């Protein structure tokens, strides 16, 4: 009897493990309200980093060093971390499953995160310039950076509009606040 009980217990555990593995293989499809929340959270998680490098003290110091022809390698590590975070957030967003109604919103999130990734990639390339770089070396990268920042701003606005439209179409109350102010 003990053998049969153990066998049944092992079979039950095996069945539970198989069911658990099957549910993970299919993935979780977010309900629309939860997807919108996650979509906004993914973007907001990048806002502080973006602001730091575009409007904050690090941006002032970074662009000041470039304008003065100073060594900018001291920014390399922080920019590499920002770029890596953008890549990871985009990859995580790509894995998010959603209902068909959220497809356009999801596309806008991925485009926005790609824009952030592209911007930081150019900034990393700037920081990798050797000490004593020429104005021509930095000028070509700066010429690529400005449109990348403009594209990111445009993509952000489109994402924001898509989030608002999705919230309205799904009758979801979208609460917005500036994530940089706690």
CB neighbour list of residue 27: distance below 8 Å, 6 or more residues apart: 95, 97
- Residue 129: give the domain boundaries: 31-169
CA pseudo-torsion sign 122, 123, 129, 135: positive
Residue 147 lies in a domain: yes
At 91-150, the pLDDT tens digits run 999 999 999 999 999 999 999 999 999 999 999 999 999 988 999 999 999 999 999 999
Residue 70 and residue 154 in one domain: yes
Q: Do the Cβ atoms of 36 and 163 come closer than 8 Å?
A: yes
Number of domains making up the chain? 2
Give pTM, 2 decimals: 0.79
- What is the per-residue pLDDT across 2-34, written as a single tens digit (0 to 9) for each? 554 443 333 434 433 444 333 344 578 999 999
Indicate whether 9 belongs to any domain: yes
Question: 66 with 140, same domain?
Answer: yes
Domain annotation covers residue 57: yes
Looking at the fold, whether 37 and 118 belong to one and the same domain comes out as yes
Region 44-48 average pLDDT:
89
């Amino acid at each position: 009897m003990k053998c049969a009980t153990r066998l049944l217990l092992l079979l039950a555990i095996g069945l539970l493990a198989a069911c658990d593995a099957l549910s993970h293989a299919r993935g979780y499809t977010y309900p629309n309200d939860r997807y919108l929340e996650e979509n906004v959270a993914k973007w907001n998680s990048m806002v502080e980093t973006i602001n730091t490098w575009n409007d904050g003290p690090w941006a002032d110091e970074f662009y000041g060093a470039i304008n003065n022809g100073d060594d900018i390698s001291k920014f390399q590590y922080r920019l590499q971390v920002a770029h890596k975070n953008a890549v990871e957030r985009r990859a995580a967003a790509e894995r998010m499953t959603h209902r068909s109604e959220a497809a356009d919103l999801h596309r806008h999130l991925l485009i926005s995160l790609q824009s952030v990734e592209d911007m930081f990639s150019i900034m990393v390339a700037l920081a990798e310039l050797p000490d004593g770089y020429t104005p021509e070396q930095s000028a070509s990268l700066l010429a690529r950076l400005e449109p990348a920042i403009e594209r990111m701003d445009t993509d952000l606005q489109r994402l924001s509009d898509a989030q608002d439209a999705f919230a309205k179409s799904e009758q979801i109350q979208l609460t917005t606040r500036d994530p940089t102010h706690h």
